[in-house]
Structure 1
Amino acid sequence: MTNHKQAWQAREKAFAAFVTGPLLDFWQRREEKYFSGVGGVPIHYVRFICEQHKRVILLCPGRNETYVKYPELAYDLFHCGYDVVIIDHRGQGRSGRMLDDTQRGHVESFSDYVDDLESLWQLEIASPRYQRRFTLAHSMGGAITTLLMVRRPDAFDAAALSAPMFGIFLPLPRWLAIRILAWAEKHPLLSQTYALGTGRWRPRPFGLNDLTHSRERYRRSLRFYSDDPELRIGGPTHHWVREGIQAGEEVLRNVSALKTPLLLLQAEDDKVVDNQAQDRFCQLLSEMGNPCAGGSPLIIRGARHEILFESDVMRAEVLNAVTTFFDQFD
């Protein structure tokens, strides 16, 4: 296991060999499954199982993500002794879409995401074969998972939240954005159109991306969507943005219900979610006598939003922090 962790430090130097060798072999052993989510929407997920493992991690991706993007992270956690289960949220990845234009990022109610995740938790994570249950959730997945923990305080032994979406980085003043979204909500057709400044999926050159410094990981992610049009998601709808903002507010209102030990990982140079909302979340936890690990967010210096897909040094810092945190509960 120690040798495996050492490999995190310099994987990009031979990334192609890793991807076409050990990672491909690992991916081929996956089990792809699905269940019926809220409203009968098919919710797809993937799992990596070993009979010897007694610990499991539920990976909860962000908006516009799919488990197809996550094999490297699953590989690393699996080789640290965890079973790994990854969900594709409704409206993205291989799960059912909400609208005729399948590229619009949309959800009827944010609680549908939480209901779906709770169903998956009951199907896979609650199994008595596991002695320890953990979750690692990114961005939108962080908000979904936190709301599940509000609902089920005993769902996980510990949770790590990667750049959780407790607030959205808005291109407009918040008061103006809220006013526009409220107006759009009164017009059903408009509420389901792409939010201002967004549209259908298109490939962005690495030099223009604001998600990661890792050229290798960015290009690999881009290829998944380029090669498989069914995975593509464009911008969110006005309704989704409104639901996302309200979900962050709901998280902050319900901090007192959280009992799960938490590690919050913050990307210093995030341009997708609001880091101030994460700071407020940790402050509220401290005031409730249940501080997150370290008492404040663990700031990954220089990191962009996708810290689980960042360059080797930053990504290794994240994975070491997560696995060290989880190891405390063995």
Structure 2
Amino acid sequence: MRLDPAPLFTDIAPGPEGGQAHWAETSDGKRIRLGHWPCAGARGTVLLFPGRTEYIEKYGLCAADFARRGLATMAIDWRGQGLSDRLLPDTRIGHVDVFSDYQKDVAAMLRAARSLNLPRPYFLLAHSMGGCIGLRAVMEGLPVQAVAFTGPMWGIYVVPHLRAVAWSLAQFMPRVGQGHRLPPGTKIEAYPAIAPFDDNLLTTDPQMYDMMRDQLAAHPELSLGGPSFVWLREALAETKHLAGRSAPNIPCVTYLGSNERIVATDRVHKRMAQWKGGRLEIVPGGEHEVLLETPELRKPIFDGLEKLYLGNITG
């Protein structure tokens, strides 16, 4: 597989030494960016699936945590975000034509991991939208030995009295040629750039929130605002479809902030209650970004991930 050097903004990515990024091409011709951080004597590699709007550099701290625990990390910029190919003329809007297109990104990531000879076995850590993409990938045979999800988007939280409206608009607007537009209530700007820290939906740690803001200020090309109506339509359809499928037979832990306000928590509870060998951990006081919470909340999560991954090395 051809992999060309790509930028990795080390000025904003506090990851382990030796981090690299590469351009890869998907089967449908999209250029995506992949980043990886090595670890001396690594006992495996964490395949990290970020959420919507996110970018590789945001997870440098997580890669450092994993490196201290003997694990390498590989992360991805999904199509339509980060430095990967943007899909609309207005590059500030998140978009995907069909949700299954993200699986082409997953396939390219896996080919790259093998081409780079990243340490095996592989493990999955998937956040938010990445949790939706990751769930399908695991259901379809992603070769990992254990999986973890944080704030997984197995449903999108919409206030009850607006759910029918959201579904109707997501179906109607693309049919009348307006699928590229933003749904009501969403913004063209990246959330951390415009939302004050007080009562934000992402983290209770002011330093982490400042890090997100500083990253986007230093490299605005990483910014992404709200999703298109087409993305919303596809996300609603994908989460509905996955909800009807049985959980895969693989060790799993899911972490969910007790103050989660972005994804539909009822879908998370239902899925994990039915996951044989799976466990749901509620992070007390945590918001959506539990991996970027206070040190007191982060440490037990990474301790738990270490136990999950290293405890499931087979072969």
Query: Same fold per TM (> 0.5)?
Result: yes
* Distance in structure 2 (CA, Å) of the matches to 1:123 and 1:45: 8
Tell me the distance in 1 between the aligned counterparts of 2:26 and 2:115: 17
Instruction: Give the structure 1 partner of residue 38 of structure 2.
Output: 49
Partner of 2:265: 275
1:169 to 157, 160, 168: 157
Offset, 1:128: 7.0
Q: What TM-score do the two structures reach when normalised by structure 2? A: 0.89
2:301 is equivalent to residue 318 of structure 1? yes
Instruction: Find the counterpart in structure 1 of residue 253 from structure 2.
Output: 263
Find the aligned partners of 1:228 and 1:127 in 2 and give their Cα distance: 27
TM-score when normalising by structure 1: 0.85
Q: State yes or no: 1:292 paired with 2:278.
A: yes
Aligned length: 300
Deviations 1:15-71 (A, max 9, x none): xxxx99xx75x4552111011125311110111124622311011100010011111
Of 196, 208, 220, the residue aligned with 1:205 is 196
Closer, same or farther: CA 125–54 of 1 in aligned 2, 3 Å: farther
Q: Give, in whole Å, the separation in 2 of the partners of 1:272 and 1:239.
A: 19
Q: Secondary structure at the match of 2:242?
A: helix
Structure holding more helix per residue: 1
In the alignment, structure 1 residue 302 sits paired with structure 2 residue 275:
no
Measured on the aligned residues, the alpha-carbon RMSD in Å equals 2.1
CA distance in 1, matches of 2:91, 2:118: 38
* CA separation of 1:246 and 1:316: change in aligned 2, threshold 3 A: same
Structure 1 residues 307 and 98, CA gap change in structure 2 (3 angstroms) = same
Query: Which of 167, 171, 174 is the matching residue for 1:178?
Result: 167
Instruction: Give the secondary structure class of the aligned counterpart of 1:32.
Output: strand
Q: Which moved more, 1:59-68 or 1:164-173?
A: 164-173
1:203 and 1:222 in contact (8 A); partners too: no
Cα distance, 1:260 vs. partner?
Answer: 2.0
CA distance in 2, matches of 1:38, 1:126: 16
Structure 1: tracts of 5 or more residues without a match: 1-18
% identical equivalent positions: 25
Residues 29-44 of structure 1 aligned to structure 2 (within 5 Å): 29-44=18-33
Q: Closer, same or farther in 2 for the Cα pair 1:28/1:53, shift >3 Å?
A: closer
Structure 2 residues without counterparts, runs of 5 or longer: 1-9
1:107 aligns with 2:90: no
Amino acid at match of 2:278: C
Aligned mates of 2:119, 2:18 — CA distance in 1: 20
Q: CA deviation at 1:214?
A: 0.5
Return the offset for 1:326: 1.5
Report Cα offsets for 1:89-111 as digits up to 9, x if no partner: 11111111000100101111111
Tell me the distance in 1 between the aligned counterparts of 2:174 and 2:117. 44
